[in-house]
Amino acid sequence: MNTDCRSLLVGNGLDIQLGGDDFLNKWIIVRLLSKAKIGKYDALFLNEEDSTPLISGDEIVELRKRQKLST
C-alpha cells in the first residue's frame, strides 16, 4: 500500500455563513459520504486510461470508517 498521504478538498469556493445544523462539519461530511455512496463523485476520480473511477464511492465511505476507528 502506498504510504504517500495526500488530501483532496472539494468545494464550491463559497464561504458558508448560514445558521442552523445543516452547515456544521458533521452534516457536510454526512452529505458528502451519502453522495459518494451513490456515485456522484465518480467523474472526479476517473482514470483517463480506461474511464473507470480510481476510487469508488464505497471506498470513500470505507476510508472514512477507517479514519474514525483510528482516532
Query: In the prediction, which pLDDT does 34 show?
Result: 92
Query: In the prediction, which pLDDT does 20 show?
Result: 63
Query: In the prediction, which pLDDT does 12 show?
Result: 61
The pTM for the full model equals 0.56
Q: Considering only CA atoms, which of 23, 33, 28, 38 is closest in space to residue 66?
A: 33
Task: Copy the grid coordinates of residue 1.
Answer: 500500500
CB 65, CB 34: distance < 8 Å: no
Query: In the prediction, which pLDDT does 38 show?
Result: 92
Query: In the prediction, which pLDDT does 43 show?
Result: 85
Q: pLDDT tens digits for 3-62?
A: 666 776 666 655 555 556 666 678 888 888 999 999 898 888 888 888 888 888 889 888
CB 33, CB 64: distance < 8 Å: yes
